[in-house]
Amino acid sequence: MKNPPKKTSDSSDIILEVRDLVQVFNGRAVLNGLNFKVRRGETFIIMGGSGCGKTTLLRILIGAQKPTSGSVRLFGQDITQLDPEALDKIRLRFGMNFQFGALFQSMTVGENIALPLQEHSRVDPSLIEMVVKMKLELVGLTGFENFKPSEISGGMRKRVGLARALALDPELLFSDEPTSGLDPVMTAVVDQLTLDSTRKIGVTAVVVSHDMTSAFRIATRMLMLGSGPRQGEIVAEGTPDEIRNNPDPFLQQFIRGEADGPIPLRLSQDDYLKHLLGDG
């Protein structure tokens, strides 16, 4: 039940395909030749240390940013080559939940969720109101329609962002750390929402997550991006079981959350001295 159906030969099943993706910022390769595929119905988790390029990867996947090189095929089309008109058509098929919400501050919670519906569907306002209530109930925020984003907590904002991303019932959901800053119960609620969307409605989810409990709870496949000396490469990719049993020390340190290990956080004594004295 946990593993996705293995239909590797069927390419129409592939909803997202990344090839040789490279992103360079100021001469530093943040993403360096990534290759992976996401199949329809999967819940694909992207993990990795803070600052390793997860948000950057997501921004490239949704076409918000052009990569330095490489291709991203979404629904069979290379979005790095598309003109904005065609990209807009594709954008209607997926939802994006931003790391920091990106809610419209001048609108209420309800208006935020209603906006994509008003702009892209011809349904009646009373129906939109109903959809808004449904989406808010999904994320446990019934009754908050008329609050401004500045009047709710950070965790609530994240959930509004998720509700807005789901407003148009997308086939594909991108979610950037949907559970960070949420309490354990709310984390479980959001995880359950992702599970329900993927298992019951058939939504494909690409989720960035730091939270290992939550990641293993929802994932059908996982990918870990490297940092430090392994910046820009894929450390490991596989089903949750494969990831758990992968002996890579880098990966094991990350999923166990240990301070000691190959993931470089601090400089060595010598390097630290050099750095302080300014000749490192």
Partner 1 sequence: MKFLVRLLRRNEGKGYWVLNARIYSFLLWGLTNPKVLSPELTLSQMLRIGVQALPMASLVALSVGFILAMQASTELGKLGADSFIPDLVSLSLMRELGPLLIAIIVVGRSGSAVTAEIGTMKVNEEIEALRVMAISPVRYLVVPRYLALVIMLPILTIFGNCVGLAGGWAVCAGTLDMPTSFYIKHAVDRPELWDLYSGLIKSVVFAHIIITIACHQGLNVEDGAQGVGRATTNSVVFSILWIIISDAILTGLFFFVS
Ligand X SMILES: Nc1ncnc2c1ncn2[C@@H]1O[C@H](COP(=O)(O)OP(=O)(O)OP(=O)(O)O)[C@@H](O)[C@H]1O
Please tell me the distance from the alpha carbon of residue 193 to that of residue 188, in angstroms, as a whole number: 8
Least distance in Å: CB of 128 to partner 1?
14
Q: How much of the chain is in helix, strand and coil states, percent to nearest 5?
A: 40, 20, 40
Among 85, 124, 270, 279, which residue sits at the site for partner 1 (rule: CB under 8 A)? 85
Q: Closest distance between partner 1 and the C-beta of residue 237, in Å?
A: 26
Among 30, 60, 72, 103, binds partner 1 (CB under 8 A): 103
Given a contact cutoff of 8 angstroms between Cβ atoms, the answer to whether 252 and 246 are in contact is yes
Stretch that binds partner 1, among 23-31, 67-75, 82-90, 197-205 (CB under 8 A): 82-90
Q: Which does 53 bind (CB under 5 to 8 A by kind): Mg ion, ligand X, partner 1, none?
A: ligand X
Contact between 206 and partner 1 per CB under 8 A: no
By DSSP bridging, strand 14-25 and strand 28-39 are antiparallel
CB-nearer residue toward ligand X: 6 or 266: 266
Shortest CB 203 distance to Mg ion, Å: 22
User: Which residues of this chain interact with Mg ion, rule CB under 5 A?
Assistant: 55, 99
- The footprint of ligand X (CB under 6 A) covers 25-26, 30, 48, 50-56, 99
| Closest among 106, 99, 93, 109 to 166, alpha carbons compared | 93
SS3 73: strand
25 binds partner 1 (CB under 8 A): no
Q: What tokens were used for 190?
A: 């959001």
**Which backbone phi and psi does 97 adopt, to 5 degrees?**
-105, 110
The site partner of 105 among Mg ion, ligand X, partner 1, none (C-beta below 5 to 8 Å per kind) is partner 1
Identity of the residue, 77 or 180, whose beta carbon is nearer to ligand X in the bound complex: 180
Interacting residues of 170 by C-beta distance below 8 A, sequence separation 6+: 93, 94, 95, 203
Judged by phi (left if over 0) then psi (alpha if -120 to 50, else beta), residue 82 lies in beta
* Window 117-146: contact mask with partner 1 (x via CB under 8 A): --xx--------------------------
* Bridge pairing between strands 234-238 and 221-225: antiparallel
Q: Determine, following the binding rule CB under 8 A, whether residue 270 of this chain makes contact with partner 1.
A: no
Rounded Cα distance, 46 and 107, in Å: 31
C-beta closer to Mg ion: residue 65 or 99: 99
Asked if 105 touches partner 1 (CB under 8 A), the answer is: yes
Of Mg ion, partner 1, ligand X, none, which one does residue 50 interact with (CB within 5 to 8 Å by kind)? ligand X
Are 168 and 92 spatial neighbours (Cβ–Cβ below 8 Å)?
yes
Task: Report the interface residues with partner 1, using CB under 8 A.
Answer: 62-64, 83-85, 88-89, 91-92, 96, 98, 100, 102-106, 115-116, 119-120
